[in-house]
Amino acid sequence: MADPFRLEGRIVAVIGAGSGIGAACAQAAATQGAHVVCLDVNEAGAAATAAAIIRGGGAAAAAPIDITDAAQTDAALAHIKVTHGRLDGLVCTPSINVRKTLLNYSEAEFDRVVSVNLKGSFNAVRAAGTVMVPQGAGSIVVFSSIRAVAVEPGQSVYAMTKAGVVQLVRGAACEFGTAGVRVNALAPGVVETPLTAPIRANREWYDAYASKSILRRWAQPDEIAGPTVFLLTDAAKFMTGTVLYVDGGWLAADGRFTPPGM
Protein backbone atom coordinates (compact mmCIF):
# COMPACT_ATOMS: atom_id res chain seq x y z
CA MET A 1 0.00 0.00 0.00
CA ALA A 2 1.08 3.57 -0.62
CA ASP A 3 2.11 5.45 2.53
CA PRO A 4 -1.08 7.22 3.72
CA PHE A 5 1.02 9.92 5.40
CA ARG A 6 2.60 11.03 2.12
CA LEU A 7 1.37 13.66 -0.35
CA GLU A 8 3.10 12.67 -3.60
CA GLY A 9 1.32 14.03 -6.64
CA ARG A 10 -0.88 16.35 -4.57
CA ILE A 11 -1.28 20.06 -5.21
CA VAL A 12 -1.48 21.93 -1.90
CA ALA A 13 -2.04 25.65 -1.42
CA VAL A 14 -0.92 27.24 1.83
CA ILE A 15 -2.30 30.69 2.60
CA GLY A 16 -0.05 32.55 5.03
CA ALA A 17 3.06 30.77 3.74
CA GLY A 18 5.18 33.92 3.98
CA SER A 19 6.19 33.40 7.61
CA GLY A 20 5.62 31.57 10.89
CA ILE A 21 3.20 28.68 11.00
CA GLY A 22 2.20 29.06 7.36
CA ALA A 23 5.80 28.81 6.18
CA ALA A 24 6.33 25.73 8.35
CA CYS A 25 3.17 24.12 6.94
CA ALA A 26 4.30 24.79 3.37
CA GLN A 27 7.70 23.25 4.03
CA ALA A 28 6.19 20.23 5.81
CA ALA A 29 3.75 19.57 2.95
CA ALA A 30 6.63 19.73 0.47
CA THR A 31 8.66 17.32 2.60
CA GLN A 32 5.79 14.86 2.29
CA GLY A 33 5.92 15.13 -1.50
CA ALA A 34 3.33 17.79 -2.32
CA HIS A 35 3.73 20.50 -4.92
CA VAL A 36 3.09 23.53 -2.74
CA VAL A 37 1.68 26.85 -3.89
CA CYS A 38 2.77 29.43 -1.32
CA LEU A 39 0.25 32.26 -0.97
CA ASP A 40 0.52 35.35 1.20
CA VAL A 41 -0.41 39.01 1.24
CA ASN A 42 3.37 39.44 1.58
CA GLU A 43 4.39 38.22 -1.86
CA ALA A 44 8.11 38.46 -1.06
CA GLY A 45 7.64 36.24 1.98
CA ALA A 46 5.72 33.65 -0.03
CA ALA A 47 8.40 33.70 -2.70
CA ALA A 48 11.12 33.19 -0.09
CA THR A 49 9.33 30.13 1.31
CA ALA A 50 8.86 28.68 -2.18
CA ALA A 51 12.52 29.28 -2.97
CA ALA A 52 13.56 27.50 0.24
CA ILE A 53 11.41 24.51 -0.70
CA ILE A 54 12.94 24.36 -4.17
CA ARG A 55 16.48 24.61 -2.76
CA GLY A 56 15.63 21.63 -0.58
CA GLY A 57 14.60 19.58 -3.59
CA GLY A 58 10.85 20.14 -3.38
CA ALA A 59 8.35 21.61 -5.80
CA ALA A 60 6.79 24.99 -5.11
CA ALA A 61 5.48 28.22 -6.57
CA ALA A 62 4.36 31.50 -5.01
CA ALA A 63 1.68 34.11 -5.59
CA PRO A 64 0.08 37.00 -3.70
CA ILE A 65 -3.32 36.77 -2.04
CA ASP A 66 -5.47 38.97 0.17
CA ILE A 67 -8.12 36.75 1.72
CA THR A 68 -10.22 39.75 2.71
CA ASP A 69 -10.82 40.22 -1.03
CA ALA A 70 -13.25 37.52 -2.19
CA ALA A 71 -12.64 38.04 -5.91
CA GLN A 72 -8.86 37.86 -5.47
CA THR A 73 -9.14 34.72 -3.34
CA ASP A 74 -11.43 33.04 -5.89
CA ALA A 75 -9.06 33.97 -8.71
CA ALA A 76 -5.94 32.71 -6.90
CA LEU A 77 -7.37 29.25 -6.23
CA ALA A 78 -9.02 29.04 -9.66
CA HIS A 79 -5.62 29.81 -11.20
CA ILE A 80 -4.11 26.84 -9.36
CA LYS A 81 -6.81 24.63 -10.87
CA VAL A 82 -6.10 25.96 -14.36
CA THR A 83 -2.32 25.61 -13.95
CA HIS A 84 -2.16 22.22 -12.26
CA GLY A 85 -5.47 20.64 -13.19
CA ARG A 86 -6.63 20.29 -9.58
CA LEU A 87 -6.33 21.48 -6.00
CA ASP A 88 -5.96 18.67 -3.47
CA GLY A 89 -5.34 20.57 -0.26
CA LEU A 90 -5.73 24.01 1.24
CA VAL A 91 -4.30 25.32 4.50
CA CYS A 92 -5.47 28.76 5.65
CA THR A 93 -3.46 30.17 8.57
CA PRO A 94 -3.75 34.00 8.61
CA SER A 95 -5.30 35.85 11.52
CA ILE A 96 -4.77 39.05 13.46
CA ASN A 97 -5.47 40.08 17.03
CA VAL A 98 -6.04 43.47 18.61
CA ARG A 99 -5.57 42.87 22.34
CA LYS A 100 -8.00 45.27 23.98
CA THR A 101 -10.87 44.97 26.41
CA LEU A 102 -14.35 45.27 24.91
CA LEU A 103 -14.96 48.71 26.37
CA ASN A 104 -11.82 50.02 24.65
CA TYR A 105 -12.38 48.34 21.29
CA SER A 106 -13.09 50.63 18.35
CA GLU A 107 -15.45 49.76 15.53
CA ALA A 108 -12.57 49.98 13.07
CA GLU A 109 -10.53 47.48 15.11
CA PHE A 110 -13.50 45.13 15.34
CA ASP A 111 -14.03 45.29 11.58
CA ARG A 112 -10.35 44.66 10.89
CA VAL A 113 -10.12 41.55 13.06
CA VAL A 114 -13.39 40.10 11.78
CA SER A 115 -12.45 40.87 8.17
CA VAL A 116 -9.22 38.87 8.29
CA ASN A 117 -10.08 36.09 10.72
CA LEU A 118 -13.67 35.31 9.85
CA LYS A 119 -14.45 36.82 6.45
CA GLY A 120 -11.02 35.79 5.18
CA SER A 121 -11.51 32.21 6.34
CA PHE A 122 -14.95 32.16 4.72
CA ASN A 123 -13.52 33.44 1.44
CA ALA A 124 -10.78 30.79 1.49
CA VAL A 125 -13.16 27.92 2.30
CA ARG A 126 -15.64 28.98 -0.34
CA ALA A 127 -12.97 29.42 -3.01
CA ALA A 128 -11.41 26.04 -2.23
CA GLY A 129 -14.81 24.35 -2.18
CA THR A 130 -15.64 25.84 -5.57
CA VAL A 131 -12.63 23.99 -6.99
CA MET A 132 -12.73 20.80 -4.91
CA VAL A 133 -16.44 19.91 -4.90
CA PRO A 134 -16.65 19.49 -8.71
CA GLN A 135 -13.46 17.40 -8.75
CA GLY A 136 -14.88 15.16 -6.00
CA ALA A 137 -11.96 15.27 -3.58
CA GLY A 138 -9.89 17.54 -1.40
CA SER A 139 -8.96 18.52 2.13
CA ILE A 140 -9.31 21.98 3.67
CA VAL A 141 -7.67 22.97 6.96
CA VAL A 142 -8.55 26.31 8.55
CA PHE A 143 -6.88 27.69 11.65
CA SER A 144 -8.92 28.20 14.79
CA SER A 145 -7.31 28.53 18.26
CA ILE A 146 -7.63 27.44 21.87
CA ARG A 147 -9.23 30.88 22.26
CA ALA A 148 -12.35 29.44 20.63
CA VAL A 149 -13.07 27.79 23.99
CA ALA A 150 -10.80 29.44 26.58
CA VAL A 151 -10.58 33.22 26.80
CA GLU A 152 -8.65 35.83 28.77
CA PRO A 153 -9.10 39.61 29.10
CA GLY A 154 -8.41 41.44 25.88
CA GLN A 155 -9.16 38.48 23.61
CA SER A 156 -12.95 38.65 23.27
CA VAL A 157 -13.15 39.65 19.62
CA TYR A 158 -10.33 37.37 18.54
CA ALA A 159 -11.93 34.48 20.45
CA MET A 160 -15.29 35.21 18.83
CA THR A 161 -13.77 34.91 15.36
CA LYS A 162 -11.95 31.69 16.21
CA ALA A 163 -15.16 30.14 17.56
CA GLY A 164 -16.84 31.26 14.35
CA VAL A 165 -14.18 29.46 12.32
CA VAL A 166 -15.08 26.21 14.07
CA GLN A 167 -18.73 26.52 13.06
CA LEU A 168 -17.73 27.56 9.53
CA VAL A 169 -15.64 24.39 9.28
CA ARG A 170 -18.47 22.21 10.57
CA GLY A 171 -20.98 23.73 8.18
CA ALA A 172 -18.65 23.42 5.20
CA ALA A 173 -17.86 19.82 6.15
CA CYS A 174 -21.60 19.05 6.10
CA GLU A 175 -22.06 20.70 2.72
CA PHE A 176 -18.93 19.40 0.97
CA GLY A 177 -18.77 15.91 2.46
CA THR A 178 -20.98 14.12 -0.03
CA ALA A 179 -18.60 15.31 -2.76
CA GLY A 180 -15.63 13.74 -0.98
CA VAL A 181 -14.20 17.00 0.35
CA ARG A 182 -13.07 17.13 3.98
CA VAL A 183 -12.95 20.31 6.09
CA ASN A 184 -11.26 20.49 9.49
CA ALA A 185 -9.95 23.08 11.93
CA LEU A 186 -6.52 23.13 13.56
CA ALA A 187 -6.45 24.88 16.94
CA PRO A 188 -3.00 25.76 18.28
CA GLY A 189 -2.04 27.01 21.69
CA VAL A 190 0.76 29.55 22.00
CA VAL A 191 3.41 29.36 19.28
CA GLU A 192 6.74 31.14 18.87
CA THR A 193 6.29 33.16 15.68
CA PRO A 194 7.05 36.73 14.58
CA LEU A 195 3.48 37.68 15.49
CA THR A 196 3.97 36.67 19.14
CA ALA A 197 7.33 38.45 19.51
CA PRO A 198 5.87 41.24 21.70
CA ILE A 199 4.62 38.67 24.21
CA ARG A 200 7.92 36.79 24.23
CA ALA A 201 9.69 40.06 24.97
CA ASN A 202 7.80 40.29 28.28
CA ARG A 203 9.33 37.55 30.43
CA GLU A 204 6.50 37.43 32.98
CA TRP A 205 3.89 37.12 30.21
CA TYR A 206 5.97 34.54 28.34
CA ASP A 207 6.45 32.40 31.44
CA ALA A 208 2.76 32.64 32.38
CA TYR A 209 1.77 31.21 29.01
CA ALA A 210 4.45 28.52 29.19
CA SER A 211 3.16 27.42 32.59
CA LYS A 212 -0.34 26.88 31.18
CA SER A 213 0.94 24.09 28.95
CA ILE A 214 1.37 20.66 30.49
CA LEU A 215 4.67 20.56 28.60
CA ARG A 216 5.62 23.87 30.28
CA ARG A 217 6.73 25.59 27.08
CA TRP A 218 5.55 27.27 23.90
CA ALA A 219 5.21 25.41 20.61
CA GLN A 220 7.49 25.85 17.63
CA PRO A 221 5.92 26.36 14.17
CA ASP A 222 7.02 22.93 12.91
CA GLU A 223 5.16 21.31 15.82
CA ILE A 224 1.94 22.83 14.46
CA ALA A 225 2.82 22.02 10.84
CA GLY A 226 2.98 18.25 11.41
CA PRO A 227 -0.60 17.85 12.64
CA THR A 228 -1.80 20.25 9.94
CA VAL A 229 -0.23 18.24 7.15
CA PHE A 230 -1.62 15.05 8.72
CA LEU A 231 -5.12 16.42 8.12
CA LEU A 232 -4.29 16.79 4.43
CA THR A 233 -3.22 13.17 4.03
CA ASP A 234 -5.13 9.95 3.47
CA ALA A 235 -4.17 8.96 7.03
CA ALA A 236 -6.93 11.40 8.08
CA LYS A 237 -9.41 10.48 5.33
CA PHE A 238 -12.24 9.74 7.81
CA MET A 239 -11.74 13.00 9.69
CA THR A 240 -14.00 15.89 8.78
CA GLY A 241 -15.91 18.60 10.62
CA THR A 242 -13.64 18.32 13.63
CA VAL A 243 -11.16 20.43 15.59
CA LEU A 244 -7.66 19.13 16.21
CA TYR A 245 -6.14 20.85 19.27
CA VAL A 246 -2.36 21.18 19.27
CA ASP A 247 -1.86 23.05 22.53
CA GLY A 248 0.63 21.11 24.67
CA GLY A 249 -2.23 20.13 26.98
CA TRP A 250 -3.34 23.73 27.71
CA LEU A 251 -7.04 22.83 27.63
CA ALA A 252 -6.61 19.50 29.44
CA ALA A 253 -5.38 20.86 32.78
CA ASP A 254 -7.53 22.96 35.12
CA GLY A 255 -4.71 24.24 37.29
CA ARG A 256 -1.10 23.96 38.42
CA PHE A 257 -1.61 22.74 42.01
CA THR A 258 -0.30 19.24 42.73
CA PRO A 259 -2.21 17.63 45.64
CA PRO A 260 -0.16 16.35 48.60
CA GLY A 261 1.23 12.86 48.10
CA MET A 262 1.13 13.00 44.33
Q: Catalytic site residues?
A: 158
- pLDDT at residue 17, rounded to an integer: 98
pLDDT digits (tens, 9 = 90+) for 88-111: 999 999 999 999 999 999 999 999
Average pLDDT over residues 154-162: 97
Is residue 255's pLDDT more than 80? no
Angstrom CA distances, 21 to 33, 35, 49, 229, 257, stand at 19, 18, 12, 12, 32
Q: What is the mean pLDDT of the chain?
A: 95
Mean pLDDT on 38-44: 98
* pLDDT at position 194: 81
**Confidence band, pLDDT 50/70/90 cuts, at residue 253:** confident
Confidence at residue 126, expressed as pLDDT on a 0 to 100 scale: 98
Report how far apart, in Å, the C-alpha atoms of 16 and of each of 47, 204, 248 are.
Answer: 12, 29, 23
The backbone torsions φ and ψ at residue 60, rounded to the nearest 5 degrees and listed phi first, read -160, 160
Q: Which amino acid is at 153?
A: P
The three-state secondary structure class of 225 is: helix
Name the CATH topology of 11-242: Rossmann fold (3.40.50)
What pTM value is reported for the model?
0.95
DSSP 146: G
pLDDT tens digits for 207-233? 999 999 999 999 999 999 999 999 999
For residue 195, the model assigns a pLDDT of 79
